[in-house]
Amino acid sequence: MVNYQNKKEHAQKVSKLIDQIGMADELEKLKTRIERMDSKAHAKELSDRIESIGKHSFMCQADVGDLEQVNRMRDLVVKQFGKVDILVNNAGIVRDKSFVKMTHDMWNEVLSVNLDGTFFCTKAFIEGMVERKYGRIVNISSVIGRMGNFGQANYTASKAGIIGLTKALAKEFAGKGITVNAVAPGFIETDMVKGVSGEVMEKILAQIPLRRLGRASEVAGTVAYLASRDGDYITGQVIDINGGLYI
């Protein structure tokens, strides 16, 4: 979670952060480290790396599907930074299975993290934004939430739900200086996607008019724009980053 006290410098600081980390390759390394963190030692290592490029960081672990843990995380973050102006809801998991074979637990696990997590985190931080009459919320949906996909009924429902929640909150909080938008990435260069076979990758690329995967920096740049002054007049929108896969 990144907090900027000077709202005019949002876009510049996020852009500089991406540049200083080393653009997409280094950002992807940090993302991978976050995904693989399984101890406080790993979290500390990543935090130190961010600090080494002149940025302040604070690591706080929480199950976003648990309201009590989310509220505890909020209290710790606010104590550290004083306030939070930008909230990016990007926690997400998959439990893929054909609908006939999908269990109730598989459905609940995905909805709990992806959709409930977005609700709980927004609920936890929105009050402070309302008090200050300023806030930027960016929810990470998915192209799957736009078009659906075989074997991903739970994931599709959760990501489509995020889009609906985004639009409702945008209308509710626009008059309070808070914008709420969603970003819906397609196939992005991640370890998971890079791990698919060559044959499967060829089929994926054949469906994408731009004939390539998206880059992590392209998603990060879009989020940074929506959180910046340049994005002040944008709310309730879904920004698709999918190379033309869904139009």
Residues labelled as active-site residues: 155
Alpha carbons 66 and 56: distance in angstroms, whole number: 27
**Other C-beta atoms within 10 Å of 175: how many?**
8
R_g of the chain, CA atoms, integer Å: 18
Return the residue matching tokens 């054909």. 98
Alpha carbons 106 and 63: distance in angstroms, whole number: 16
* Element at 18 (helix H, strand E): helix 10-21
Token output for 6: 């000077």
Per-residue three-class SS string for 65-121 = CCHHHHHHHHHHHHHHHCCCCEEEECCCCCCCCCCCCCCHHHHHHHHHHHHHHHHHH
Question: Cβ(151)–Cβ(97) under 8 Å?
Answer: yes
CB proximity list for 124: less than 8 A, separation 6 or greater: 70, 71, 73, 74
First-to-final CA distance of the chain: 31
Alpha carbons 177 and 240: distance in angstroms, whole number: 24
